[in-house]
């Protein structure tokens, strides 16, 4: 979906929608997504809301990719996505070259995801720049990070045995 409207339209037969891509739309909010309770794959570029709460009811979600979430600081709503296997949170590429990062309160909500296997955090990090909270992710197989100190990333890989690889290709 790519739309210049300010309001996200209601999605007909939203219970039957299994995958969705919302790409740089100008929506003020993604609240209508709450009704798409059977979504398995969701890709969003430019997340407009201040909170990830609008995603918390999407318990069947297995793949979530968000590019540019400038207003979000709290990842705790993601902890309700108990079927999530692949998560990618990224800042815009232009932020990367300018050194900007999206600071979040904590990575601990991600450690609570029981089925998380693949994780990418590009330009999204906590204030302390630590990956320690993710060490308890028992099922995590691959992870990639940018804008964390190199020694912290190396320490994390050594401590966990997790492989430094990109997430599997999204089906969208």
Q: What is the pLDDT of residues 109-142, one digit of tens each?
A: 999 999 999 999 999 999 999 999 999 998 999 9
Residue 155 and residue 161: Cα distance in Å, rounded?
10
The pTM is what?
A: 0.94
Dihedral angle computed from the Cα positions of residues 66, 72, 73 and 77, in that order, rounded to the nearest 10 degrees: -70
Strand order in the sheet with 142-146: 19-23, 41-45, 63-67, 86-90, 118-122, 142-146
Domain ranges of the chain: 14-160
Dihedral angle computed from the Cα positions of residues 54, 56, 108 and 143, in that order, rounded to the nearest 10 degrees: -90
In the CATH scheme, what architecture does the domain 14-160 have? Answer: Alpha-Beta Horseshoe (3.80)
Distance of CA 42 to the CA centre of its chain: 10
Q: Are 110 and 86 in contact (CB under 8 A)?
A: no
Distance of CA 112 to the CA centre of its chain: 14
pLDDT tens per residue, range 44-91: 999 999 999 999 999 999 999 999 999 999 999 999 999 999 999 999
């Amino acid at each position: 979906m790519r739309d210049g409207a300010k309001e996200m339209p209601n999605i007909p037969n939203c219970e039957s929608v299994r995958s969705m891509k919302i790409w740089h739309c100008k929506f003020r909010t993604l609240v209508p997504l709450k009704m798409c309770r059977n979504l398995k794959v969701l890709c969003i570029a430019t997340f407009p809301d201040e909170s990830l709460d609008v995603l918390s009811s999407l318990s069947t979600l297995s793949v979530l990719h968000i590019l540019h979430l400038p207003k979000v600081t709290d990842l705790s709503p993601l902890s309700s996505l108990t079927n999530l296997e692949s998560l990618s949170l990224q800042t815009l590429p232009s932020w990367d070259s300018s050194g900007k990062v999206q600071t979040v309160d904590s990575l601990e909500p991600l450690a609570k995801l029981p089925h998380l296997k693949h994780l990418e955090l590009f330009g999204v990090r906590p204030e302390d720049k630590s990956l320690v909270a993710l060490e308890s992710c028992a099922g995590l197989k691959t992870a990639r990070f940018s804008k964390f100190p190199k020694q912290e990333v190396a320490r994390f890989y050594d401590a966990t045995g997790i492989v430094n690889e990109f997430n599997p290709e999204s089906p969208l």
